[in-house]
Amino acid sequence: MDEIDRSPVNISTNNDKGLPVMWIRQLISKLNISPDIRNEPLFEKAVNELASSNLENLSSSVYQLRTVRDVLKNKIKSLAAENYHIFIDTKDASQNILEKTSEMSTANQAFLSQITEFTQCCSDILLKARSIEASLKKNRSALENHTQLLEIIELPQLMQTCVHNGHYDDAISIFGYTKTLFNKYGSRYSVLRMIYSQVSAVASQFIHQLYNQLRAPLSLSSCIKTVVFLRRTGLLSEQELRLKFLQTRTSCLKSQINSSLLACTPKELAGVDKREKLSGFLPFKESHDKSYWVATRRIEVTRVHLFDIVTQYRNH
C-alpha cells in the first residue's frame, strides 16, 4: 500500500462543524482501495460517519475500530475452531457435488449424442405411419368399391367368353372400355396395366379368329360384318385393313382352288369326256383329260370366287 501523503492540509478547526467530506475523500483517493470496496454501501456509510465526527474524536474512533477488529478476529478464529467439521463436511459435499455434476454432464453429453439417432428413428416411424395410413386408405377405398373392382378384374375372362360364344359386339365393347381405362389411369395403377395386357392378348386371339373367318368361304353380308368387326377394334388402319382383307381372301381363293382340284375323280373325268362327245367336240386323249379338267376347274372356281372377292372388297 502506498504511504499516505502526510503533508499539512489547510483545515479550519471548528467544534461545531465535522471534518470536511472532501478532505476525507482526498485522503481515501491516495490509499490503494479497490473500487468494489469504495462502492459498498457500508463503506460509504463509514465515510459519512467520519465526516460527521470532530477531530478530537478521531483518535478514539481509531482505537475503537482496532478493538472491534481484534474482537472480530477472535470470533472468526473461535467460529472456525467450533465449526471445523462443518467446513470439512462442506468441502466433502462440494467435492461430491462436483463429481455428480461431472457425471450428469457426461450423461447429458451421451444423451445429446443420441438425440440425432433418436430423431432419425422418430422420422422413420413417422414415415412408416404415413405409409400405413395411405395403405389403409387404399384398402378402405378398395373395400368400398369392391364390386366395381371385381368387374374390372373379370374383364379379360368376360371378353374371352364373349369371343368364344361369338358375341363379337360385346367383346369389342369390353376391349374399348378397357382401352379407355388404360389411357386415363394406366400410368397410375399397375393393376390396370396388367388387365389391359390380358385383354389385349384376348383381342389378338379375336383378331386371328376374324382372319380365319375371312380365309373361309363367306357370303357378302358375313364378309362385311367381319370387316366391320375388324375396323371397330381400332387395331388396324384403313390401309392395313384393306391389305389384310386381300391377303386373307386370296388365301381363301387358293384353298378353294386346291380343294376343288382334289375333289376331281376319274369317274368325273369320264363323264366329262362323254359330255364332250355329245356336244360335238372331239374327244380328248386320255393323257390330256386330267389336264383339261384341272384347267377348266381352276378357271371356273377362280371366276366365281374372284368375282365374290372383288364385290366384297368394293362393299366393305
Asked if 195 and 153 count as a contact pair (C-beta separation under 8 A), the reply is yes
Distance CA 284, CA 273 (A): 7
CA of residue 269 relative to chain centroid, distance: 80
| Choice among 28-42, 68-82, 258-272 with the minimum mean pLDDT | 258-272
Distance CA 145, CA 20 (A): 104
Q: Phi and psi for 53 in degrees, rounded to 5? A: -90, 160
Helices (H) and strands (E) in the chain, counts: 13, 0
Whether residue 247 is predicted with pLDDT greater than 50 in this model: the reply is yes
pLDDT for position 13: 41
Mean pLDDT in residue range 190-201: 91
Asked if 220 and 312 count as a contact pair (C-beta separation under 8 A), the reply is yes
Whether residue 66 is predicted with pLDDT greater than 80 in this model: the reply is yes
Q: If pLDDT is split at 50, 70 and 90, which confidence band does 2 have? A: very low
Asked if 207 and 299 count as a contact pair (C-beta separation under 8 A), the reply is no
Q: If pLDDT is split at 50, 70 and 90, which confidence band does 146 have? A: confident
Q: If pLDDT is split at 50, 70 and 90, which confidence band does 145 have? A: confident
Whether residue 265 is predicted with pLDDT greater than 70 in this model: the reply is no
CA of residue 225 relative to chain centroid, distance: 49
Distance CA 25, CA 30 (A): 9
pLDDT for position 9: 40
Q: Phi and psi for 76 in degrees, rounded to 5? A: -65, -45
pLDDT for position 270: 52
Distance CA 282, CA 276 (A): 7
Mean pLDDT in residue range 179-196: 89
> Hey, where are the domains in the chain?
21-82, 83-144, 146-214, 230-316
Q: If pLDDT is split at 50, 70 and 90, which confidence band does 46 have? A: confident
Sole residue written with cell 479497490: 34
Instruction: Give, in order, the Cα–Cα distances in Å from 145 to each of 150, 176, 190, 198.
Output: 9, 22, 17, 22
| Choice among 99-108, 142-151, 238-247, 292-301 with the minimum mean pLDDT | 292-301
Distance CA 88, CA 80 (A): 11
Mean pLDDT in residue range 27-34: 74
Average pLDDT, the chain: 78
Asked if 261 and 297 count as a contact pair (C-beta separation under 8 A), the reply is yes
Cell triple for residue 19? 471534518
pLDDT for position 312: 67
Whether residue 274 is predicted with pLDDT greater than 90 in this model: the reply is no
> What single-letter DSSP state applies at residue 188?
T
